[in-house]
A and B are shown apart, each in its own frame.
Chain A
Amino acid sequence: MGRAIRVLVAKAGLDGHDRGAKVVARALRDAGMEVIYTGIRQTPEMIAEAAVQEDVDAVGLSLLSGAHMHIFPEVQRLLNDKGGDDILLTGGGTISDEDMAELRASGVGQLFGPGASTRDIVEYIQTEIGGRRAGEPS
Chain B
Amino acid sequence: MSDRSDDTTRALLGSLHQRPSNDDPHVTVSGREIRPLVGPDDVDIDHARDLGEPGEYPYTRGVHASMYRGKMWTMRQFAGFGTAQQTNERYRFLLSRGQTGLSVAFDLPTLMGRDSDDPWCMGEVGKCGVAISSLEDMETLFDGIPLADISTSMTINSPAAIIWAMYIAAAEKQGADITKLRGTLQNDILKEFIAQKEFIFPPLPSMKLVVDTIEYGTNEMPQFNTISISGYHIREAGSTSVQELAFTLADGFAYVDAAIEAGLDVDDFAPRLSFFFNSHLDFFEEIAKFRAARRIWARHMKDRYKAKNPRSWLLRFHTQTAGCSLTAQQPMLNVVRTAYEALAGVLGGTQSLHTNSLDEALALPSEESVEIALRTQQILAHETGVASTVDPLAGSYFVEKLTNDMEAGAEAYFARINELGGVVPALEEGFFQREIADAAHWYQEALERKQRVVVGVNEYVNPDEKQQIPLLRIDKEVAQTQNAKLAALKTRRDPAACAAALKRVEQTAQDGGNLMPPFIEAVKAYASLGEIIETLKGVYGEYTEPIII
Q: A13-B108, A66-B128 are in contact. Are A37 and B440 (CB under 8 A)?
A: no
- 1/0 per residue, CB under 8 A from B, across A3-41: the answer is 000000000011111110111011101000001111110
Q: Does A96 contact B (CB under 8 A)?
A: yes
Measured in the bound complex, the distance between the Cα atoms of B359 and A94 in whole Å is 11
Closest residue on chain B to residue A22 by CB atoms: B549
Closest residue on chain B to residue A13 by CB atoms: B124
Q: Does B196 contact A (CB under 8 A)?
A: yes
Measured in the bound complex, the distance between the Cα atoms of B466 and A114 in whole Å is 14
Please pick, from B108, B109, B122, the residue contacting A70 in the complex, using a CB distance under 8 A: B122
Check B328–A69 contact: CB distance below 8 A: no
Q: By CB atoms of chain B within 10 A, which of A29, A35, A113, A114 has the most? A: A114
What residues of B have a CB within 8 angstroms of the CB of A136 in the complex?
none
Q: Does B34 contact A (CB under 8 A)?
A: no
What residues of B have a CB within 8 angstroms of the CB of A69 in the complex?
123
Please pick, from A14, A17, A98, the residue contacting B114 in the complex, using a CB distance under 8 A: A14
Q: Does A118 contact B (CB under 8 A)?
A: yes
Instruction: Give chain A interface residues in 94-123, CB to chain B under 8 Å.
Output: 94-98, 113-115, 117-119
Check B124–A67 contact: CB distance below 8 A: yes
Q: A14-B112, A113-B328 are in contact. Are A19 and B124 (CB under 8 A)?
A: no
Check B448–A117 contact: CB distance below 8 A: yes
Check A23–B120 contact: CB distance below 8 A: no
What residues of A have a CB within 8 angstroms of the CB of B328 in the complex?
94, 113-115
Please pick, from B109, B198, B327, the residue contacting A114 in the complex, using a CB distance under 8 A: B327
Closest residue on chain A to residue B443 by CB atoms: A23
Q: A25-B1, A70-B122 are in contact. Are A65 and B444 (CB under 8 A)?
A: no
Please pick, from A23, A37, A95, A114, the residue contacting B441 in the complex, using a CB distance under 8 A: A23
Q: Does A52 contact B (CB under 8 A)?
A: no
Check B327–A115 contact: CB distance below 8 A: yes
Q: Does A78 contact B (CB under 8 A)?
A: no
Measured in the bound complex, the distance between the Cα atoms of B236 and A29 in whole Å is 23
Q: A14-B120, A37-B547 are in contact. Are A94 and B329 (CB under 8 A)?
A: no
Measured in the bound complex, the distance between the Cα atoms of B3 and A4 in whole Å is 18
CB distance from B53 to the nearest CB of A (A): 40
Closest residue on chain A to residue B544 by CB atoms: A39
Check B440–A39 contact: CB distance below 8 A: no
Closest residue on chain B to residue A25 by CB atoms: B549
- 1/0 per residue, CB under 8 A from A, across B4-41: the answer is 00000000000000000000000000000000000000
Q: By CB atoms of chain B within 10 A, which of A23, A95, A118 has the most? A: A23
CB distance from A116 to the nearest CB of B (A): 9
What residues of B have a CB within 8 angstroms of the CB of A26 in the complex?
437, 441, 549
Q: Does A71 contact B (CB under 8 A)?
A: yes
Q: Does B97 contact A (CB under 8 A)?
A: no
CB distance from B61 to the nearest CB of A (A): 34
Q: Does A43 contact B (CB under 8 A)?
A: yes
CB distance from A54 to the nearest CB of B (A): 12
Measured in the bound complex, the distance between the Cα atoms of B466 and A38 in whole Å is 34
CB distance from B458 to the nearest CB of A (A): 7
Check B474–A19 contact: CB distance below 8 A: no
Q: Contact residues of A with B, CB < 8 Å?
A: 13-19, 21-23, 25-27, 29, 35-40, 43, 65-67, 69-71, 74, 94-98, 113-115, 117-119
Show 25 A/B contacts (Cβ-Cβ < 8 Å), sorted by A. A13-B120, A14-B114, A14-B121, A15-B124, A17-B236, A18-B197, A18-B237, A19-B236, A19-B436, A23-B238, A23-B437, A23-B440, A23-B441, A26-B549, A27-B444, A37-B547, A65-B127, A66-B474, A71-B123, A97-B467, A115-B327, A115-B361, A117-B447, A118-B448, A119-B448
Q: Which 4 A-B pairs have the closest CB atoms?
A: A70-B123, A16-B197, A66-B127, A67-B123
Give me 11 other A-B pairs in contact (C-beta within 8 A), A70-B122, A113-B328, A114-B326 excluded: A13-B124, A16-B197, A18-B197, A35-B1, A37-B1, A37-B549, A39-B545, A66-B474, A114-B362, A115-B327, A117-B447
